[in-house]
Amino acid sequence: MSRLALVHVYPPQDFLIEPQVRRALEEDFGRAGDLTTDLLLPEDQTARAVIAAREPGIICGLVAAVIAFRLVDPSVRLTPHMPDGSKVEPKQIVCELEGPARAVLSAERTALNFMGHLSGVATATNALVRQTTGTRARIVCTRKTLPGLRILQKYAVRCGGGFNHRFGLDDAVLIKDNHVAAAGGVEPAVTRARERLGHMVKIELEVDTLAQLEIALALGVDTILLDNMKPDELRGAVAMSARRAVLEASGGITLDSVRAVAETGVDYISSGAITHSARNLDLGLDFL
């Protein structure tokens, strides 16, 4: 078993994600419950099963799967063989289950839905992270998350070796082009934010030209988002800033382009695709 040695992989508390898992079960059980399982299996039948990988990737979502099985029947025991954040190969067993057969079957799809999706996010993140090896750049997520799943998707990003950007609008000030337009310019926008902002909250400003970067540096904002800049422009931005601000590259980041972006010397590279477009990792549950 190989697990990513990352100190920032801390799981969300159960009470924060149980409502999402409960809603998913309610959606699946509907009004009458699991008709197939309840008709076919006696109530006292027990079972042992495993969840195994069918393709390589990074495992994530056991935190949600445990809750899914527990909500259906607290007597189901889930024993992880490869905890969240582990690298997995095809046919490797991720966890073992033991308990009432009805509960195992009824919670199976909900558990696998969470695990497959979140493992996909972790795997997509890790693919970008591997491309930045040897550079200073860190891969970060965005707020482009699936509604209701943000805390879990951001956890999956950490399991994949990435870092989190804002969790919500209340984390920090991020002044983007529409904010600037509505406020009447960059300087008025930054000034108004500073006048009303608590001393613990940072300001990030989006720019898309080196001329705008020069203004941002003069205003002394904490972080500057370099939007849709080419590698040559990013290198110019790094040289111009001379580490006076944290630089984040964003916009259209792909597996093919991320290495060139990382080599420019930026501090962070943000990607929405790792959460909003991650492919499901293929996992399966099999009875023993």
Residue 7: pLDDT above 70?
Answer: no
Catalytic residue among 109, 166, 192, 259: 109
Give yes or no: residues 143 and 268 share one domain: yes
Q: Do residues 252 and 157 both lie within one domain?
A: yes
pTM, to two decimals: 0.95
Residues 100, 57, single domain; the answer is: yes
| Shared-domain flag, residues 155 and 177 | yes
Give residue 1's pLDDT. 44
φ/ψ region of 205 (left if φ > 0, alpha if ψ in -120 to 50, else beta) reads beta
The CATH number that applies at residue 114 is 3.90.1170.20
User: Is 138 assigned a catalytic role?
Assistant: no
Contact assessment for residue 47 and residue 104, using Cβ atoms and an 8 Å cutoff: yes
Active-site residue, selected from the candidate residues 143, 144, 259, 279: 144
Query: Which residue, 246, 273, 241, is CA-closest to 257?
Result: 273
Q: What is the pLDDT of residue 10?
A: 82
102 is catalytic: no
Residues 236 and 260 reside in one and the same domain: yes
Residues 104 and 135 in one domain: no
- Quick check: 5 pLDDT over 70? no
Q: Give which of 59, 39, 61 is closest to 110, Cα–Cα.
A: 61
**121/142 same-domain check:** no
Print the domain residue range for 218. 131-276
Q: Is 202 a catalytic residue?
A: no
Average pLDDT, the chain: 95
**pLDDT tens profile 94-103:** 999 999 999 9
222 and 192: one domain? yes
Across the range 84-105, mean pLDDT stands at: 97
Residue 285 has pLDDT above 60, yes or no: yes
What per-residue confidence (pLDDT) applies to 9?
73
**Active-site position among 22, 138, 143, 176:** 176
Mean pLDDT, residues 5-19 = 81
8 and 63: one domain? Answer: yes
Mind listing the pLDDT tens digit for each residue in 257-266? 999 999 999 9
Cα–Cα distance measured from residue 250 to residue 227, given in angstroms and rounded to the nearest whole number? 5
pLDDT at position 248 is 98
79 and 151 in a single domain? The answer is no
Backbone angles phi, psi at 95, to 5 degrees: -155, 165
Per residue in 232-283, pLDDT (tens digit) is 999 999 999 999 999 999 999 999 999 999 999 999 999 999 999 999 999 9
Per the residue annotation, which of 108, 206, 248, 267 is the catalytic one?
Answer: 206
Q: 112-138: string of b/e by CB count within 10 Å (b at 16+)?
A: bbbbbbbbbbbbbbbbbbebbeebebb
Between residues 1 and 79, the one the model is more confident about:
79
The pLDDT score that the predictor gives to residue 24 is: 98
Is 232 in the same domain as 259? yes
- Provide the domain count of the chain: 2
CATH of the domain at 211: 3.20.20.70
> Which is the catalytic residue, given 34, 108, 227, 267?
227
Q: Are residues 265 and 138 in the same domain?
A: yes
